[in-house]
Amino acid sequence: MKLQMLIDATRDADEQQAYERAAHEVFAELDVLDAQLADRRYLGGATPSAEDWELHAVLLRFELIYYALYKLNRTRIRDFPNLGQYLLDMHQQGPEIDVEAIKRDAWLADSHRNPKAVVPLGTPDLQAPHDRLRFDRAALRRAATEEDQNRGKKGEFVRGVSSHRRRIGRDLPIEAGRYHLIIANNCPWCHRAALTRSMKGLQDMISMGVLWYRRDRDNGWQFRGDLAGFEPDALHGYRWVEDYYRSVGSNQTSVPLLWDKVAGEPVNNESAEIIRMFDDAWPDRGPRLAPPERMDAIEDANAWIWRDINNGAYKAGFSSNQEVYETAYHRFFAALERLDRLFAAQQWVCGDVVTEADVRLYPTIYRFDPVYYVRMKLDHRMVREYRNLSRWLRDFGELPGVAEASNIEHCRLGYFGRTGDNLIPIGG
């Protein structure tokens, strides 16, 4: 293709003027391609073409080889707004490639430019998250569902799928006092439900029971009214959350659980649906977190935040497969970098107002420095080291209702002290 021919001309140049002319033509062509990919996922059509795969092959080699070996160092591919993301998209769809071998062979074969036969160590993270799915919102959102996550490699953490999925306002009436939310403060999925209830001021509409932060090995989540700071189950005096599910013949065990006190049965145990129904059923209470006019932006953000950050932390920390752990690790920190860049330009995830996307992001970022950095083996950087992301964390934490629904001590005690040496770190 044309781009490869221009790169070869740079390689073959034997005097300064010829090199500069060829190099300028290379970057002029890259600028053209970057502009073409601003409003389309592929060069042509709805699926990758032969031309796309040819471009992928060239872009793959650019930072590995051409940038330094051919002195084409004006701009890295990752720094182009569209080409960098396009490369990630194409690479993750294609067959497995030995990138290190490609780099090594090229550098060792060129004794003229690399007479000491030293091969650079740097390699771009080609498994990092990308934004190209924005051209296919259905695929983006499908990739972030619990159902999609229920497929994994050997040793990969797989989250269970919730089975109780009724909605207030659709399947059940909107009634004050009818519904009861059961949560554990250490659970991030519970945290998002408690945050929404508190931020919207629904305490008079929806009662809430708080579980102990430790699960029993045999019986799961438990009420411990016998312990200081905890109350017994207010509805039935149950000891175990399983008792709620068993009373209606369900084999589920998870929280948060939204319970219908009138019908005596579950409403919903999927946190994403619980927080959406709270906002939809009571739109005039507190901030409107999922307004229809921002729904596309919210759903797009929810998708990659869930995949790479919310669930990504668990993919890293709970994996028993080194390769799976490392992939999740790199995707997680690439996503934090993306957030830090985003918050340099705007206050909240979807612009100038707080939305559901911020609520879903907060539990993971809130837990990160004191818990996940150690517990999930995500030790590259702390949130406090990201200037803009840490600013967002402070701003969100100061919103009305957030502090009341957040308990970092329960998080520390819930994540530590139950596995390994059973010790609770002093930091945090």
160-205 tens-digit pLDDT = 666 799 999 999 999 999 999 999 999 999 999 999 999 999 999 9
Q: Which CATH number fits domain 2-126: 3.40.50.720, 2.30.29.30, 1.10.3720.10, 1.20.1050.10?
A: 1.20.1050.10
In angstroms, the CA 273 to CA 166 distance is 9
Residue 45 pLDDT greater than 60, yes or no: yes
In angstroms, the CA 52 to CA 402 distance is 47
pLDDT band at 141 (very low <50, low <70, confident <90, very high): low
Contacts of 322 (CB under 8 A, 6+ apart): none
Q: What percent of the chain has pLDDT above 70?
A: 92
In contact, 188 and 410? CB cutoff 8 Å:
no
Q: How confident is the model over 240-254, as a mean pLDDT?
A: 96
Contacts of 112-115 with C-beta under 8 Å, sequence gap 24+, read 113/69, 113/70, 114/69
Q: What pLDDT is attached to residue 152?
A: 53
Q: Please state the domain extents for the chain.
A: 2-126, 139-157+289-397, 179-281
CATH class of 179-281: alpha beta
Q: What pLDDT is attached to residue 324?
A: 86
pLDDT, tens digit, for every residue of 291-339?
999 999 999 999 999 999 999 999 999 888 888 888 889 889 989 999 9
Residue that wins the pLDDT comparison between 65 and 427: 65
Phi, psi of 179 (to 5 degrees): -115, 150
Residue 124 pLDDT greater than 50, yes or no: yes
Q: How confident is the model over 408-427, as a mean pLDDT?
A: 79
Q: What pLDDT is attached to residue 419?
A: 62
Q: How confident is the model over 3-19, as a mean pLDDT?
A: 93
From the list 19, 67, 86, 187, the catalytic residue is 187
Q: Which CATH number fits domain 139-157+289-397: 1.10.1370.30, 3.30.1490.20, 1.10.8.100, 1.20.1050.10?
A: 1.20.1050.10
In contact, 366 and 406? CB cutoff 8 Å:
yes
Q: What pLDDT is attached to residue 149?
A: 47
190 counts as catalytic: no
Q: What pLDDT is attached to residue 1?
A: 84
Chain mean pLDDT for the chain: 91
Q: How confident is the model over 20-24, as a mean pLDDT?
A: 94
Residue 206 pLDDT greater than 60, yes or no: yes
- The closest alpha carbon to 229, from 31, 407, 19, 17, belongs to 407
Structure tokens that stand for 367 in this block: 């837990």
314 counts as catalytic: yes
- Say if residue 304 is exposed, middle or buried (CB neighbours under 10 Å; 0-12, 13-18, 19+): buried
Task: Tell me if residue 193 falls in helix, strand or coil.
Answer: helix
Task: Tell me if residue 198 falls in helix, strand or coil.
Answer: helix
- pLDDT-wise least confident of 22-31, 176-185, 411-420: 411-420
Contacts of 58 (CB under 8 A, 6+ apart): 1, 3, 4, 7
Count of beta carbons in the 10 Å neighbourhood of residue 57: 15
Q: How far is CA 144 from CA 32, 125, 364, 383, 424, in A?
A: 32, 21, 16, 23, 32
pLDDT band at 157 (very low <50, low <70, confident <90, very high): low
Do the domains 139-157+289-397 and 2-126 match in fold?
yes
From the list 314, 362, 372, 373, the catalytic residue is 314
